[in-house]
Structure 1
């Protein structure tokens, strides 16, 4: 009898374990490693969406047999939807399991992603209607287009997602006409998109971040002249009684919320916008250089590496100045104002940008010189972009950063001032890639320093001065064995001061100078706080429509998904 009871208990324990194991296996659990979304705002006022999802299923997760894709509304044409898994066509089902009601499901069939496996799902939706709304800032002229890429329930998806979303604006929209909306939903990437043209000549806005996730609703938007789409394609929102909403709320709550709302909008937003706009002006590399290739691009000069890492342009100019002086192509006559004596004939081995630099200093006035230096910089940026085609920007930047670090380490480890000076002479431009090079230069050079043989061509204060020439204030150098030495602090100040002098005396305001380059190499999209009354796409079984006033938001949002 006891044996029978014991056997029964063991059977029950094993059965419970099996049930628990099966229950654990039944839950979806995966990471969305990458999501690429192309959103086409078409000339007929409709929207087309192209998704590429890369999933990795957890070893203990349920097989990914269906993928729910949320839609902005129910006005999508099922007959235009196609899907494939790794290039293999799969079926589309109207059995949408996400809450909210707007969407469809991809039936993975024989290509379901098994536990522990990865797979790529491609989905194309050819037509979605009623997705454009009046722009809230300029409703008589502009249409507003907002979109939220599909997202999944936080109980199912985990980890970071490399998310890229690209808006293709309607054909005919001109570069100076559209405006982007600041992303919402805690977007971790840059607020300003990268702008470019697609293969059809349409303006595109691209937002990208590898720190996104697959369970947040990010909303992106843009406004453009509504003349590029039919008038009846723009949705007119229902009447909204703002007064009734306020009357239904407590007076004090309304007052506090409204004050907070307007402080945020009219004080906080402009400040943040100005900071972001200034930072964006300094990003002069074109967006195509950020498209990752493979491998390291070797053979760049220190100046080209500085462009690749988007160093401040006053520093880049100083690096070029050091280069032409070291090559005996020019000598500094005066530092304030900065004037050069160009060597004729020019020595061999000059880079194209060095020749353009010397040509710029032949300009008759400061304005013409700045314009020529901007033109030189634009050509230099384009040259670096061309050289980087097919190579990885990240790997290449890491490679040149390691060169810079090794150069500094060798200088810091040098045993004598003579050796330290020689190493610094050889690696001067590379050390300037350090973002803290000014502080590091002052810290490293403290004792006596033997200046390079070409130093007199850079700093007139250390050249013999004739009796008829004006005297310049300087630290008196000492000589030893035919070489000139300086106190380390004076040497460091002269090096660091070169950038400051270039900034204030040659190119003027660095931000304005850089903006003139950026406008040609990486034009800044116009920003707008405008938004549509409703917009976006639900995702992963989610769809959300919100009506907000300064006193609060009334949202109908759906969760779930698989």
Structure 2
């Protein structure tokens, strides 16, 4: 009897252990490490979606056997849906368990992701209709659409998600015609997309963020001229109507008031700030697609372009460079006129030759030539950066700049300080606080570099040594025996940048916009919500005039 009781207790204990173990494994728990979705806004009025998900399943969690994918509406063709793991096809199930009404489930089958394992899933949806709506700002001429990539329940997913959303606009749309809607939904990265062209020549808007949340809804949008779409492809009626009364009517009024306040007051202000900042981003967007490693061998001027330093500073750095190399002498500073050496000395960079070419014709203003030179320089830097990391390279050249300043500041005598500054002048100008730092460092006497007479027509090494008004020709190396107060020298160097702006290129914003329009075309932006679409786990509705759509998330 005693032996039988012991056996019974062991059986019960084993039963509870197995039950508890099964219960512990019944919960889904994973990290959505990456989610990438290409959204093809097609010219026939439909869209196609191409998803790639990568899941890291937690140890001890439920096997990832199904993946729910939310759809923006119910107008998708079931036969256009496919899913695979490394090319091996998977089954599509209608057993969608997201919170929204539209979506499907992918049966992972033999490729289910086991606890503690990582796996990727590719999903393609070839045709979804009813995605374009009249644009809120320009309803007669523009159509718009918005999309939210599918997301997952916060009870299941944790950690950061590297989320990338790429819009491919309809064929034929030109950069100046395209409009992006800044990302919404507490998007933790840049709300404005990078712009480029895909292999078919279609405009691409790319939003990317390594610190996104796999359980949050983010909304991205665009607007294009109606001429690129069939008229019957644009939805002119709301996707559905809500019959609310009483308290819900009041809540709706409050929500709409808040919506329109943000749309017409707050959003335009934020949009204007973002647009102004964007106009100074002259580097092509593809330079932001990270490669690996540091691109060494860039000059200080090329490094300044990589950092998107103000172009008047870049021009001044180039001017100092050609003067130091005895390729030019400043004849007058206001207006700026150069005497270009003939023949040119060896060792000049292409951008320095183009810079001098802009000043070669005394009957033409140099501004147009300088814009051409800048466009070529930006494209050259972009080409050199292919395959390298912009962030790592930028950090590397910032460290060179900082070391140069530290060595100058640590110099024991004015002579040594002046000599080191002469050698590192262009590198120190990479400092965003260049103006103030120059004034702080040079407080005592400064020995002028030997080339200073070719830069400053008013400089004379000794009274009566040259004819009045004649350019000064001095050796290029070393320093002169002439010292000036440090404050005067610092002011002269600092105001060189300001002078180049006012005397040569005019308004920096206008000059830069002329460059940006060719190197990084500025799409028009819209801050207001347009037609709705999306993916995810819940429903959210805007006010009158905006279409609403719900979508589902996943297990």
Normalised to the residue count of structure 2, the TM-score between the two structures is: 0.89
User: Aligned residue pairs: how many?
Assistant: 546
- Deviation of 1:134 after TM superposition, in Å, equals 2.1
What SS does the corresponding residue of 2:366 show, helix, strand or coil?
Answer: helix
CA offset digits 1:135-178 (Å, max 9, x no partner)? 22332332221111111112222222222211112222233323
Question: Where does residue 26 of structure 2 map in the other structure?
Answer: 26
Structure 1 pair 549–329 and aligned structure 2 pair: CA distance change class (3 A): same
CA offset digits 1:189-223 (Å, max 9, x no partner)? 33332222221122222222223221111111112
Aligned match for 2:543, one of 527, 539, 548:
548
Q: Are 2:259 and 1:266 aligned?
A: no
Structure 1 pair 63–135 and aligned structure 2 pair: CA distance change class (3 A): same
Question: Where does residue 382 of structure 2 map in the other structure?
Answer: 385
- Deviation of 1:311 after TM superposition, in Å, equals 1.0
Structure 1 pair 363–266 and aligned structure 2 pair: CA distance change class (3 A): farther
Task: Indicate conservation of the 8 Å contact 1:47/1:131, yes or no.
Answer: yes
- Deviation of 1:249 after TM superposition, in Å, equals 4.4
Aligned counterparts of 1:349 and 1:255: Cα–Cα separation in 2:
70
Structure 1 pair 239–218 and aligned structure 2 pair: CA distance change class (3 A): closer
- Deviation of 1:544 after TM superposition, in Å, equals 2.8
Aligned counterparts of 1:83 and 1:468: Cα–Cα separation in 2:
82
Question: Where does residue 396 of structure 1 map in the other structure?
Answer: 393
- Deviation of 1:8 after TM superposition, in Å, equals 8.6
CA offset digits 1:288-325 (Å, max 9, x no partner)? 21222222221111111111111111111111011111
- Deviation of 1:463 after TM superposition, in Å, equals 2.1
How do 1:58-457 residues align onto structure 2 when only pairs under 5 Å count? 58-238=58-238, 249=249, 261-364=259-362, 368-457=365-454
Task: Indicate conservation of the 8 Å contact 1:246/1:254, yes or no.
Answer: no
CA offset digits 1:234-261 (Å, max 9, x no partner)? 22324999998799745xx888776655
What SS does the corresponding residue of 1:39 show, helix, strand or coil?
Answer: strand
Normalised to the residue count of structure 1, the TM-score between the two structures is: 0.87
Structure 1 pair 292–452 and aligned structure 2 pair: CA distance change class (3 A): same
Q: Are 2:479 and 1:486 aligned?
A: no
Task: Indicate conservation of the 8 Å contact 1:86/1:119, yes or no.
Answer: no
Aligned counterparts of 1:544 and 1:73: Cα–Cα separation in 2:
11
Task: Indicate conservation of the 8 Å contact 2:238/2:548, yes or no.
Answer: no
CA offset digits 1:341-392 (Å, max 9, x no partner)? 22222111111111111121234467x3111111110010011111112222
Question: Where does residue 474 of structure 2 map in the other structure?
Answer: none
How do 1:41-60 residues align onto structure 2 when only pairs under 5 Å count? 41-60=41-60
Structure 1 pair 554–179 and aligned structure 2 pair: CA distance change class (3 A): closer
Aligned counterparts of 1:94 and 1:392: Cα–Cα separation in 2:
43
What SS does the corresponding residue of 1:51 show, helix, strand or coil?
Answer: strand
Task: Indicate conservation of the 8 Å contact 1:153/1:559, yes or no.
Answer: no
Bigger shift: residues 322-331 or 82-91:
82-91
Structure 1 pair 549–175 and aligned structure 2 pair: CA distance change class (3 A): same
What SS does the corresponding residue of 2:541 show, helix, strand or coil?
Answer: strand
Task: Indicate conservation of the 8 Å contact 2:135/2:142, yes or no.
Answer: yes
What SS does the corresponding residue of 1:460 show, helix, strand or coil?
Answer: coil
Aligned counterparts of 1:211 and 1:332: Cα–Cα separation in 2:
50
Task: Indicate conservation of the 8 Å contact 2:179/2:224, yes or no.
Answer: yes
Aligned counterparts of 2:294 and 2:479: Cα–Cα separation in 1:
43
Task: Indicate conservation of the 8 Å contact 2:263/2:527, yes or no.
Answer: no
Aligned counterparts of 1:60 and 1:437: Cα–Cα separation in 2:
55
RMSD: 3.3
- Deviation of 1:516 after TM superposition, in Å, equals 0.8
Aligned counterparts of 2:201 and 2:193: Cα–Cα separation in 1:
18
Task: Indicate conservation of the 8 Å contact 1:72/1:543, yes or no.
Answer: no
What SS does the corresponding residue of 2:139 show, helix, strand or coil?
Answer: coil
Structure 1 pair 245–415 and aligned structure 2 pair: CA distance change class (3 A): farther
Structure 1 pair 328–238 and aligned structure 2 pair: CA distance change class (3 A): closer
Bigger shift: residues 214-223 or 398-407:
398-407
Question: Where does residue 474 of structure 1 map in the other structure?
Answer: none
Structure 1 pair 245–419 and aligned structure 2 pair: CA distance change class (3 A): farther
What SS does the corresponding residue of 2:458 show, helix, strand or coil?
Answer: helix
Task: Indicate conservation of the 8 Å contact 2:150/2:552, yes or no.
Answer: no
Task: Extract unaligned runs of 5+ from structure 1.
Answer: 472-479
